[in-house]
Chains A and B, each alone.
Chain A
Amino acid sequence: MDFLAPVIVIVVLGVVVWLVSGPLRAGATVVEDADAARREDLEAAKEAKYREIRDAELDFRTGKLSEADWRALDRELRAEAMELLRRLDALG
C-alpha cells in the first residue's frame, strides 16, 4: 500500500498535466479566430430569432395577438432575421 500510493499520485499527476497541456502542445501559437467566434454567436442569434418568429405565430394562432398586430410584428422580426443573415454572409 505504501509504495502504491506515490505511484498512483504520479499517474494522476501525469493524467492532469497531459490533459491540461494538450492545447499548448499542439504546436504553433493559435491566435483567436475572431470571425469563427462571431459566426457561432450569429448562428445562435439567428436560431433565437427564428424561434421568436414561430412564437409570435403561435401567439396569433392561439388568439393572443390580433391579426394586424401579428403581421406588423412578424414583418419586424423577419427584417431582423434578414439582417442577421446578411451579417452572416458578410463574414464569408
Chain B
Amino acid sequence: MDPSRKRRIRLVVALSAAVILAGALAYTSFSASSAAVSPSRLLASADTGHSYQLTGKVVDGSISRHGDATLFRVRDRNGSASVPVRYVGAVPDPFRDGREVIVTVRKRGATFVGEKDSLVTKCPSKFTDKPTSKT
C-alpha cells in the first residue's frame, strides 16, 4: 500500500471515530438534559419523574421551612402562575423573596422536588445597564 493511500485511510478512520464520538455526545446530551421551563409551562404539562430546569422568581412571602426542607413557590418572570417547590439543603446566599432562581426539579405528586445543590440564584444585578430605581 503506498504511503499516501495509507495516510488517507488513517484520516478517514480518525474522522469517522470523531464523528461517532461527537454523535454519542450529542445524543446523550439530549437525553440527559433537563428542559428549562417556566412555572406556567410546568403547570400545563409535567410528567412525573422527568426532570425540568425551572426558572422564575420566588413568590413574595412564600418561603417557609419544614424541618430540613425549604418550601417556596416560583412564579413566572412576568406573570403570576406559580408552582410549589420543596428543596432540601442550604439555599444560596442571595436567595430571598422576588429573586430570580433556577432549580432542577422533578414532579412528586402536586409539588416539585428540587435536586440537591441545583438551586442557583441569579446575581442581584450589579451589572445591569439600567440604574436600579432605588432611591
Do chains A and B make direct contact within the complex (CB under 8 angstroms)? no
Chain B: residues with CB nearer than 8 A to chain A? none
Chain A: residues with CB nearer than 8 A to chain B? none
